[in-house]
Amino acid sequence: MGKKFNRKLGVTESIGLIVVGLFSVGLLLWWESGKEERKAHESKTYAQSSFAVELSATTSGDGVQFAAAPAQSSFAVELSATARVSEGKVFVDGKTNFPDGAKLTSYLYCNAFNYMAIAEPAVVQQGSFRAAPVGTGYTGSVLPEGEYTLSVQFTPLGQTESVTAVVGKKGEKLSGKTVETDEFGVLKIARFETKVDVSGAKATEALTKLTRSREAYRSEVEALYGELNGFRHSSEFLEHGFSQIRFAEWKKRAEALRDSRAPDLESQGVGGLVLYLGVRYIGLKDGDDEQTLRAHSQIKTYVETKAYISKPH
């Protein structure tokens, strides 16, 4: 009985080993046959994962956007200009690598008599630009004789879209020796400056005319201011104001000075300030207030600064 059972058990074990062996062989064959398919699947999954990562880098709040070609990170500015003086006017020619359509503005400064003139913006074409004659302003069409500073400037504001794409909305892509931050610390601009000597018979004549004009304007300011200080405390003026003939005549002269063309930047607005004082004093019965004291200070400073224009040496 025991021998029979052992024989049956041996047969069962043998069958079990055969089954396990066949299963192992089948599993091995399945694994080997699926290698290539798994590799292809893994490659596809990795590619999809990589593509998802790349897409996430170019996705905004508006949805998926296709990545554009890398933008130019910096624009090295080249900017220069030369000035030619003719008949008391300054003509500006320049070279630059700003793209076509870029706008540049030319300014002329003269510290000797607080003069500034601005030309219409020049448009870049094929690396060159030419500004309209710079010579209009307080002195008319001819510049007074003297040494000026010509400043050619580029600002990112007011440019075309194609130019903005190159320089940046705030000029942040600009670089080079002519590039600087504007006075507000907001924009990067390009500026080229050079000295210009304006001379000649017409320029000398314009300088003489400007000097005389400044002297006349300053003398009238001084006269009106002195007369005002002479009558502003009088009971007649405080009671009747400019209805009296002599006070009305003063007001008429002050209005004419206010409405006249100031000879320079320094004189601009001074005539109106004198008139303002006269009108203000009608309502003030107890002397000065903060506004009149400030006006007095400005007028005194202007009057005490004599007409000093002369040819620079």
Q: Are residues 233 and 193 in the same domain?
A: no
How, if at all, do strands 59-60 and 79-86 pair?
unpaired
User: Does 122 map to a domain?
Assistant: yes
Chain-centroid distance, C-alpha 89: 27
User: Does 157 map to a domain?
Assistant: yes
- pLDDT, residue 72, reads 63
Q: Which residues of the chain have pLDDT under 70?
A: 1-72, 135-141, 286, 306-313
Q: Are residues 194 and 267 in the same domain?
A: no
Q: Are residues 207 and 194 in the same domain?
A: no
Please report, to the nearest 10 degrees, the dihedral formed by the alpha carbons of residues 18, 22, 24, 27 taken in order.
Answer: -160
- pLDDT, residue 9, reads 44
User: Does 32 map to a domain?
Assistant: no
Q: Are residues 112 and 149 in the same domain?
A: yes
Whether the Cβ atoms of residue 80 and residue 71 lie closer than 8 Å to each other: no
- pLDDT, residue 311, reads 37
Instruction: Choose the final residue of a domain: 152, 178, 199.
Output: 199
Whether the Cβ atoms of residue 67 and residue 54 lie closer than 8 Å to each other: yes
- pLDDT, residue 35, reads 54
Q: Are residues 80 and 164 in the same domain?
A: yes
Instruction: Choose the final residue of a domain: 152, 182, 199.
Output: 199
User: Does 138 map to a domain?
Assistant: yes
Q: How confident is the model over 286-296, as pLDDT tens digits?
A: 678 888 999 99
Q: Are residues 251 and 185 in the same domain?
A: no
Query: What is d(CA 56, CA 51) in angstroms, rounded to the nearest whole number?
Result: 9
- pLDDT, residue 101, reads 97
Amino acid (one-letter) located at 148:
Y
- pLDDT, residue 186, reads 94
Task: Give the C-alpha distances (Å, rounded to integers) separating 249 from 217, 219, 228, 252.
Answer: 18, 17, 12, 5
Q: Are residues 180 and 291 in the same domain?
A: no
Q: Which of 220, 225, 205 is nearest to 277 (CA)?
A: 225
Whether the Cβ atoms of residue 188 and residue 172 lie closer than 8 Å to each other: yes
Instruction: Give the CATH number of the domain where residue 81 resides.
Output: 2.60.40.1940
Q: How confident is the model over 7-48, as pLDDT tens digits?
A: 444 544 545 545 445 455 454 455 555 555 555 545 444 433
Q: Structurally, how many domains does the chain consist of?
A: 2
User: Does 110 map to a domain?
Assistant: yes
Query: What is d(CA 236, CA 252) in angstroms, rounded to the nearest whole number?
Result: 18
User: Does 262 map to a domain?
Assistant: yes
Residue 17 structure tokens: 């080993």
- pLDDT, residue 248, reads 94
Query: What is d(CA 306, CA 113) in angstroms, rounded to the nearest whole number?
Result: 12
Instruction: Give the torsion sign (CA, 250, 255, 260, 265).
Output: positive
User: Does 14 map to a domain?
Assistant: no
- pLDDT, residue 43, reads 47
Q: What is the domain range of residue 195?
A: 75-199
Q: Are residues 100 and 194 in the same domain?
A: yes
Instruction: Choose the final residue of a domain: 199, 234, 254.
Output: 199
- 5 membership: H or E segment, kind and range: helix 2-33
